[in-house]
Structure 1
């Protein structure tokens, strides 16, 4: 079993094998968070490396007031957001006022499902959500962080996290309902 305190203490004492253990424990989480914010595979891998360098350099300041995974996810989120702002210069989209006219893609669900399975279709829809919704939805449902943990990771108030989560689900539900109506004989 992974014991955060023991591993952190070993790392701080210079044990590189303990750091390898930490990387193995959290690499999926780190890549998952980055993957939701950064589209290019090579950039995502570079950011993963950068995150673990930051974790190693900052580990002495980690004081166990939160879980290690939450602390690492926060570093990951901030690093990926900084990269996105620097290279995409894309203003985060807000919730569309006219939900009925909001379109994720011009491809029909039938076309997408013949190319890929349902999970891939949902993944594609999630990637098309505005950045803030995509992040909160991923952290909550896929990475299984709680509302307070997401607040700590993103710096958003918990009420905002809940609001974005509600809106993200609503957008996905709306798009999936259209697909399901077309599927029925």
Structure 2
């Protein structure tokens, strides 16, 4: 029988999981430099443990288990915010464009929205945030998620379901992109989001791929990063 190392290479892992692991770290950690460090540490741990991986679990389970351990360590000092704090923040003055003549305005708008989405996920504790990210964006099953988190599957289902409802309620009221039909929406990026008609890009994805959750769509619309590229 062929070993895992004979059928799977580190190049395969980097190609298939680099952006996904980077996404997990980016959504778990607000500071980009720290998120990059976390993602790159995941790669270091994968390289170290690759020779001993025997394929007793799925490759994705092995990779995301390492990601969980590293991301949770790097995220231990992340600030937990309340939806009240997020509402008060959204009521502040609209953000101005940076004073930069070389600015790519569309890219700036998308990057700011990307940071906002990460910020909203910080109304959950670290474990709940990770569970929602792995479920809704990485698309893991509840069974695999329970194995990675070392939690009962029923508890994981309850955790993610309750959290999703909380976030959806907030975004319906506050997010111009999530709910473009809400004329009373309060968002510091509202002016810029409407200027480039960002909601139209989301609608195009809905019409192309059908029903898909908002954060998954955001990975298709907003800038994706691969923090492993510099290491390869």
TM-score (norm 1): 0.70
Normalized per residue, which structure has more helix? 1
Change (3 A) 1:31 1:104: same
1:126 correspondence with 2:126: no
- Per the alignment, do residues 111 and 152 of structure 1 end up closer, same or farther by CA in structure 2, a change over 3 Å counting? farther
CA contact (8 A) 1:33 1:73 kept: no
1:26 maps onto 2:23 in alignment: no
Q: Per the alignment, in what secondary structure is the counterpart of residue 144 of structure 1?
A: coil
In 2: Cα distance, 1:142 partner to 1:30 partner: 11
Q: Secondary structure of 1:145's match?
A: coil
* Structure 1 gap ranges (5+): 12-17
In structure 1, the residue matched to 2:213 is none
After superposition, residues 135-154 of structure 1 pair within 5 angstroms as 135-154=130-149
Aligned pair count reads: 166
The partner residue of 1:170 within 159, 165, 173 is: 165
Structure 2, unaligned runs of 5 or more: 98-108, 185-232
1:4-153 equivalent positions in 2, closer than 5 A: 8-9=5-6, 18-85=9-76, 88=77, 102-108=84-90, 120=114, 122-153=117-148
Structure 1 distance, partners of 2:119, 2:7, is 41
How far apart, in 2, do the equivalents of 1:143 and 1:107 lie?
29
Cα deviation per residue 1:11-59 (whole Å; 9 max; x = unaligned)?
7xxxxxx323321221112111212222222222222222112112112
Change (3 A) 1:123 1:62: same
**CA 1:150–1:19: 2 relative to 1, 3 Å:** same
Q: Deviations over 1:97-152 (max 9, x none)?
A: xxxx85433134797799957x6455542244332322111111110000011112
User: CA separation in 2, counterparts of 1:68 and 1:29?
Assistant: 13
In the alignment, is the contact (CA less than 8 A) between 2:132 and 2:160 conserved in 1? yes
Change (3 A) 1:114 1:75: same
Could you say which structure has the greater relative contact order, defined with CA pairs below 8 angstroms and 6 or more residues apart?
2
In structure 2, how many angstroms separate the alpha carbons of the residues matched to 1:49 and 1:131? 19
